[in-house]
């Protein structure tokens, strides 16, 4: 029965947005000129927005400072193979793109969800679907309940919902849980500490069965990859055959 209210909510949201567009045309996030009806970034600013990244490790997505091939795997992933099959990153976490994500994530910029969702969708179609990878379900990286209540939303769930609508894929929203322990925020830890911290932070929902499934794990920003790998390890124990990661950004030097 919950499907009907969700569809109705989406319909009413679309109607409300259409009404707003008629009364108050959208201004570009960057130049404040009219952005059109497709988002909050105009065509000129979209073309100037740098999405540059160096060649990156196919497993964890970390960039290399050397000229590497398409199948490059970093030394860390060679020594300690992650539970992730492959990581796909849209852009480097810096400058204007970082500001977009910060506004969306920390300044209640919910109106940027579709613009950022389009970046994920384009990357999915070009690099994941283009590689012939068949995804069975999408799972957002979960957030602690207390943090979600304080922020009012989980930004990763919004991005996942956008992808799911356009790709017609199921979302297993409650497959993973962020447990409330003495786990410290990842942003305050060094790389080694993040790895240990993340392993304690995520649990599988009861009776979850992912046997033979290929899962797409969605996050906004990957820093060291510890969070996504911890989630992937849990999903593997539930029977997932493969786990891929799709994220908006990763910093050059975590």
d(CA 74, CA 55): 11
- 240 Cβ neighbours under 8 A, 6+ residues apart: 210, 213, 214, 215, 232
pLDDT at 77 over 80: yes
pLDDT at 4 over 50: no
**How many beta carbons lie within 10 A of that of residue 101, not counting itself?**
19
The answer regarding whether domain 50-250 maps to CATH 3.40.50 reads yes
Domain(s) labelled CATH 3.40.50 in the chain stretch across 50-250
Give the pLDDT score at 186: 52
Q: What is the pTM of this model?
A: 0.85
d(CA 38, CA 36): 6
Query: Residue 17 — pLDDT band, cuts 50, 70, 90?
Result: low
- CA neighbours closer than 13 Å in the CB half-sphere of residue 216: 29
Q: Give the tens place of pLDDT for each residue, 20-59.
A: 554 556 788 888 888 876 788 888 888 888 888 999 999 9
């Amino acid at each position: 029965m919950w499907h009907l209210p969700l569809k109705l909510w989406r319909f009413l949201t679309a109607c409300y947005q259409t009404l707003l567009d008629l009364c108050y045309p959208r201004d570009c996030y960057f130049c404040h000129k009219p952005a059109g009806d497709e988002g909050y970034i105009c065509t000129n600013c979209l073309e100037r927005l740098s999405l540059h990244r160096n060649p990156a490790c196919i497993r964890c997505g970390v960039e290399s400072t050397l000229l590497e091939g398409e199948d490059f795997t970093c030394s860390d992933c060679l020594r300690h193979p992650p539970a992730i099959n492959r990581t796909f990153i849209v852009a480097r976490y810096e400058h204007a793109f970082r500001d977009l994500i910060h506004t969306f994530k920390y300044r209640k910029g919910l109106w940027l969800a579709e613009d950022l969702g389009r970046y994920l969708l384009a990357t999915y179609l070009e690099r994941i679907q283009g590689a012939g990878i068949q995804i069975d379900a999408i799972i957002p990286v979960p957030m602690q309940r207390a943090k979600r209540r304080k922020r009012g939303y989980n930004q990763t769930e919004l991005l996942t919902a956008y992808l799911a609508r356009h790709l017609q894929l199921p979302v297993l929203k409650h497959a993973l849980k962020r447990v409330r322990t003495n786990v410290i925020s990842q942003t305050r830890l060094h790389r080694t500490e993040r790895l240990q911290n993340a392993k304690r932070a995520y649990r599988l929902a009861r009776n979850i069965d992912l046997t033979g499934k290929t899962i797409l794990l969605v996050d906004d920003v990957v820093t060291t990859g510890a969070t996504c790998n911890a989630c992937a390890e849990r999903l593997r124990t539930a029977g997932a055959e493969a786990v891929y990661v799709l994220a908006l950004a990763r910093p050059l030097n975590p």
